[in-house]
């Protein structure tokens, strides 16, 4: 034991001395340099936009690429992680001026403003060319992109701007300011607004379809359900195409629609300003703040109405409009898979539909057949509905 102690004591000074000498040799005096490079980092401004992503990352939908090592024995082109548990800043959106975003089933599209023109980038699942044609070599199209890549769009002018994006299960709608709508991806049910070809191969397809106008009118907004598409014209008319098995096209039938057709029913003479859809139910909002619904689910029309092939108005008194509150009107609507939401101009939130895991916020898990005001204790600004949860942005009452 004594020998060991002496050995340690004897080595310690030499080690310290050696480190001291080595450190002194590596020290550098900045004053000896005539001129040092100056690095200036960008300062964040209030107008800057930041994009945060989280959730399932393995498909590439988040645009985060961390490839697996070859030693892992798994496919190297897949991500080295499956989930992003907390909101994470998108490095892609730090480099580009992103103006619009849309999320599909395992993929994401983003509109980007550059010095040359407006472009659209896509990342994630691409089995049906829903984010364009991408191939490292001819004849080998990629079915998955882990990082955002530009989507080729056959613009007729470099001045064309992207004003809207929408994404469904395997198709994408790109709305422009003066060239109508470009559609990409799967058209098995006519959701891309063109003729249905039963034998069409979508993998590795370079096809894109352009819908310039509908009824000689300019298209001002677009929306995607699971496999159907909705278009709003400048006069407030709604056109629909795609899968109609649950009445979600609102065309009065359960058949698929290959080309956009005018939706009638209770919205025939209404000016619609917004539509919302996620799967097979649709909400529409007119400029007077009235709500219309069609498709499949608990539509808010009572327990006996769970399907409608044509738009029907949800009675205004269900949202608090009456002789004592005549100015109340709905300003925003949202659709989840089985639950729906509407916000009034006074910041009240109404919800109804399937109450999976308590997503309606009622304090229980029973379904709700009529719109019911939710007690939040704040002024609701916007709301988003997912599969089985709901998020609302609010501000304090003043």
Condensed to tens digits (0 to 9), the pLDDT of residues 382-395 reads: 999 988 889 899 99
Q: Return the pLDDT at 92.
A: 85
The set of residues, in sequence order, having a beta carbon less than 8 Å from that of 305 and lying 6+ positions away, is 299, 312
Residue 24's Cβ-side half-sphere holds a number of Cα atoms within 13 Å equal to 6
Q: How far apart are CA 15 and CA 13, in angstroms?
A: 5
Q: How far apart are CA 188 and CA 257, in angstroms?
A: 10
Compute the C-alpha angle 140/143/148, nearest 5°: 110
Q: Does residue 148 have a pLDDT over 60? A: yes
Q: Return the pLDDT at 138.
A: 80
- Ramachandran class of 151: left when φ > 0, alpha when ψ lies in -120 to 50, beta otherwise: beta
Do 243 and 280 lie in a common domain? Answer: no
Residue 266, Cα to own-chain centre: how many angstroms? 29
The residue with greater pLDDT, 21 or 302, is 302
The CATH number of the domain where 127 resides is what?
2.130.10.30
* Element at 82 (helix H, strand E): none
Do 210 and 302 lie in a common domain? Answer: no
Q: Return the pLDDT at 13.
A: 42
Q: How far apart are CA 109 and CA 120, in angstroms?
A: 7
Q: Return the pLDDT at 37.
A: 54
Do 257 and 330 lie in a common domain? Answer: no
Do 234 and 368 lie in a common domain? Answer: no
Q: How far apart are CA 350 and CA 348, in angstroms?
A: 7
Do 356 and 243 lie in a common domain? Answer: no
What would the pLDDT profile of 12-62 be if each residue is shown by its tens digit?
A: 444 443 444 444 455 556 555 555 555 454 555 555 667 888 888 888 888
Do 195 and 336 lie in a common domain? Answer: no
Domain membership of residue 69 (yes or no) is no
Which of 242, 263, 284 is the C-terminal boundary of a domain? Answer: 263
Q: Return the pLDDT at 23.
A: 44
Q: Return the pLDDT at 93.
A: 80
Do 254 and 293 lie in a common domain? Answer: no
Kindly report the average pLDDT of the chain as a whole number: 87
Domain membership of residue 216 (yes or no) is yes
Contact assessment for residue 310 and residue 238, using Cβ atoms and an 8 Å cutoff: no
Average pLDDT in the 314-333 region? 96
Do 127 and 183 lie in a common domain? Answer: yes
Q: Residue 215 class from Cβ within 10 Å (0-12 exposed, 13-18 middle, 19+ buried)?
A: exposed
Contact assessment for residue 284 and residue 267, using Cβ atoms and an 8 Å cutoff: yes
Do 293 and 322 lie in a common domain? Answer: yes
Domain membership of residue 385 (yes or no) is yes
Do 170 and 100 lie in a common domain? Answer: yes
Domain membership of residue 175 (yes or no) is yes
Do 137 and 280 lie in a common domain? Answer: no
What would the pLDDT profile of 238-297 be if each residue is shown by its tens digit?
A: 999 999 999 999 999 999 999 999 999 999 999 999 999 999 999 999 999 999 999 999
Q: How far apart are CA 264 and CA 252, in angstroms?
A: 9
Domain membership of residue 52 (yes or no) is no
Do 221 and 327 lie in a common domain? Answer: no
Average pLDDT in the 309-321 region? 97
Task: Tell me the H-state helices in the chain.
Answer: 2-26, 91-95
Average pLDDT in the 197-225 region? 96
Task: Name the DSSP letter for residue 76.
Answer: T
Parent domain of 393: 274-398
Total domains in the fold of the chain: 2
Domain membership of residue 36 (yes or no) is no
Which of 229, 263, 297 is the C-terminal boundary of a domain? Answer: 263
Q: In what order do the strands lie in the sheet with 219-224?
A: 219-224, 228-233, 238-242, 257-262
- Ramachandran class of 50: left when φ > 0, alpha when ψ lies in -120 to 50, beta otherwise: beta
3-state secondary structure of 9: helix
CA-nearest of 311, 312, 329 to 321 is: 329
What would the pLDDT profile of 78-125 be if each residue is shown by its tens digit?
A: 556 678 888 888 888 888 889 999 999 999 999 999 888 899 999 999
Residue 151's Cβ-side half-sphere holds a number of Cα atoms within 13 Å equal to 35
Domain membership of residue 20 (yes or no) is no
Domain membership of residue 389 (yes or no) is yes
- Bridge partners (DSSP) listed for residue 210: 182
């Amino acid at each position: 034991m004594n020998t060991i102690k002496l050995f340690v004591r004897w080595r310690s000074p030499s080690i310290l001395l050696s480190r001291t000498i080595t450190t002194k040799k590596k020290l550098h005096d900045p004053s000896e340099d005539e001129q040092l490079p100056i690095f200036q980092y960008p300062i964040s401004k209030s107008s800057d936009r930041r994009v945060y992503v989280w959730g399932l990352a393995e498909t590439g939908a988040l645009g985060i690429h961390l490839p697996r090592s070859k030693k892992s024995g798994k496919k190297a082109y897949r991500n080295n992680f499956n989930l992003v548990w907390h909101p994470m800043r998108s490095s892609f959106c730090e480099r580009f001026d992103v103006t619009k975003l849309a999320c599909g089933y395992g993929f994401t599209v983003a509109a980007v403003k550059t010095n040359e023109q407006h472009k659209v980038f896509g990342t994630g699942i691409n089995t049906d060319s829903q984010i364009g044609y991408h191939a490292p070599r001819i004849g080998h199209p990629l079915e998955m992109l882990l990082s955002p890549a530009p989507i080729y769009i056959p613009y007729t002018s470099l001045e064309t701007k992207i004003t809207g994006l929408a994404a469904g299960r395997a198709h994408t709608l790109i709305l422009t300011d003066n060239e109508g709508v470009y559609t990409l991806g799967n058209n098995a049910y006519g959701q891309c607004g063109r003729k249905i070809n039963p034998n069409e191969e979508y993998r590795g397809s370079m096809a894109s379809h352009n819908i310039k106008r509908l009824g000689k009118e300019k298209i001002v907004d677009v929306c995607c359900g699971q496999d159907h598409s909705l278009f709003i014209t400048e006069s407030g008319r709604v056109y629909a195409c795609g899968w109609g098995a649950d009445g979600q096209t609102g065309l009065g039938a359960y058949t698929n629609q290959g080309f956009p057709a005018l939706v009638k029913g209770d919205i025939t003479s209404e000016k619609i300003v917004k539509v919302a859809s996620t799967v097979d139910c649709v909400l529409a909002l007119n400029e007077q703040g009235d709500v219309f619904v069609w498709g499949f689910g608990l539509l808010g029309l009572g327990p006996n109405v769970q399907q409608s092939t044509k738009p029907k108005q949800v009675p205004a008194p269900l949202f608090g409009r009456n002789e004592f509150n005549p100015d109340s009107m709905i300003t925003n609507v949202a659709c989840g898979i089985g639950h729906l939401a509407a916000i009034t101009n006074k910041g009240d939130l109404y919800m109804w539909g399937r109450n999976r895991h308590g997503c309606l916020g009622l304090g229980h898990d029973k379904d709700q057949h009529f719109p019911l005001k939710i007690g939040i204790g704040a002024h609701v600004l916007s709301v988003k509905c997912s599969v089985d949860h709901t998020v609302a942005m609010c501000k304090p009452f003043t």
